[in-house]
Amino acid sequence: MSRKRRMFDIEVPVEEPETFPAGKEDDKPQRRGPMATAIAETVESTRDRARLEAEIRAENDALAQEHVRLKRAGLIVDLIPLDAIDTHKLIRDRAPAADFELAELVQSIRDIGLSNPIRVEPGREGRFELIQGWRRLSAYRQLLKETGDAETWGRIPAGIAARGDALEQLYRRMVDENMVRKDISFAEMAQLALHYAMDPHTAEHDPDRAVAILFKSAGYQKRSYIRNFIPLVQALGEVLLYPQEIPRALGLALAQRLAEIPGLAAAIAAELKDWDTRSVKDELDVLRRFAGQGPDASEDAPPVKASGPATPAGRAKTTFQIPRPQGNAKCIAANGCLEIRLPRDFSAIDRRRLEAAVVALLDQIG
């Protein structure tokens, strides 16, 4: 007899698959392979290195800009060998005559050193071009020559300026530095204007206009005096030993005489020729004589003839005549009036020249 098998109906619940929020599979960390780890570390290291390099470049750029700024301002100072400094770029206002103050500067530098460095700009092949400090450089060269001590005097403190400043600006700086010296003469300033006009690299070749460019810091009257010294320096610059010693009044009077009397410059040069032992007083005495100043005035000066008696008191008047190439110049001097009559068109004379002549006249008569 066979047995019957019993089946039981058992309902077994079906488990649904567990779901997770988007982007999260499970909380169990996944392990990366060695290659992935190396790549990630390399990327991070490269990123850090690039950031550091960018910071270093930015710092170097800032330092370079600061260096250029200081260099342009001449605030970077170094000891420069004297034989590496050239003086060709700017035509100097220093004549080969004796510089009596240089001895004082030499002694001062010997005692206390150089308080104000010279100024140079880089040249070619490691050389430098002087742009300020001619006398200081001359003093150092003299000290080196006297002592032979190259360790002490063979190099000079110098502010190194960047190249690129306009030539006109360099001349202006040299002029302004010289004008700070109270003793700089009108002849020296006139000579510098002539040198500026002679420089082929400058834009202005008229000495009168060069005065306006170089001496902007000076007043109008001073510029007028400088212009009137220009013909004096042009005519006698090669024969005078002490042009810097010529007083203003003497220079203006002499410049006027040179313009009025042909051959006067040649006469002065002939008298001073081969007289190398003359003193400052000797030279000035000669110039005063030819300018018509002093009791022994040169016979080359036009004679002054008095004519006519003075008028009664209260209406005092003096008249005289001076022979001129255009005829006799009649001069009338009265209270508050000085009149010169001459058959000549004075309006055709350059105003600056006419003004200088009047200034020289007033300076002479006090």
* Residue 127 resides in a domain: yes
% of the chain at pLDDT higher than 90: 15
* Nearest alpha carbon to residue 99 among 132, 139, 145, 130: 139
Q: What does DSSP assign to residue 243?
A: G
Q: What does the alpha-carbon distance between residue 237 and residue 191 come to, in Å, rounded to a whole number?
A: 8
Q: In which domain, by residue range, is 140 found?
A: 55-165
* Residue 111 resides in a domain: yes
Domain boundary among 108, 133, 165: 165
**Pairing verdict, β 128-132 and 85-86:** parallel
* Average pLDDT over every residue of 120-124: 82
The 10 Å Cβ neighbour count of residue 339 is: 11
* Residue 243 resides in a domain: no
Q: Are the C-beta atoms of 176 and 217 separated by less than 8 Å? A: yes
Domain boundary among 165, 187, 221: 165
CATH of the domain at 111: 3.90.1530.10
Tell me the pLDDT band of 77, cut-offs 50, 70 and 90: confident
Strands (E), the chain: 77-81, 85-86, 118-122, 128-132, 155-160, 305-306, 317-324, 327-334, 337-341
pLDDT, tens digit, for every residue of 82-105?
999 988 766 554 444 455 567 878
pLDDT of residue 145: 92
* Average pLDDT over every residue of 308-322: 53
Tell me the pLDDT band of 81, cut-offs 50, 70 and 90: very high
The letter for the amino acid at 263 is G
* Residue 151 resides in a domain: yes
Tell me the pLDDT band of 309, cut-offs 50, 70 and 90: very low
* Nearest alpha carbon to residue 211 among 236, 189, 188: 189
- Cα four-point dihedral sign 341, 344, 347, 349: negative
Q: Report the mean per-residue pLDDT for the chain.
A: 76
pLDDT, tens digit, for every residue of 193-225?
888 888 777 778 888 888 888 887 778 888 899
**Pairing verdict, β 327-334 and 317-324:** antiparallel
* Residue 327 resides in a domain: yes
Q: What does the alpha-carbon distance between residue 98 and residue 104 come to, in Å, rounded to a whole number?
A: 13
pLDDT of residue 313: 37
Domain boundary among 109, 143, 165: 165
| Alpha-carbon Rg for the chain in angstroms | 43
Q: Which of 70 and 49 is assigned the larger pLDDT?
A: 49
* Residue 95 resides in a domain: yes
* Average pLDDT over every residue of 9-31: 57
Number of domains in the chain: 2
pLDDT, tens digit, for every residue of 158-186?
888 766 556 666 666 666 566 555 567 88
Report the length, in residues, of the chain: 366
pLDDT of residue 284: 92
| Whether residue 306 has pLDDT greater than 80 | no
The letter for the amino acid at 138 is S
* Residue 310 resides in a domain: yes
* Residue 3 resides in a domain: no
Q: Which of 265 and 89 is assigned the larger pLDDT?
A: 265
% of the chain at pLDDT higher than 70: 73
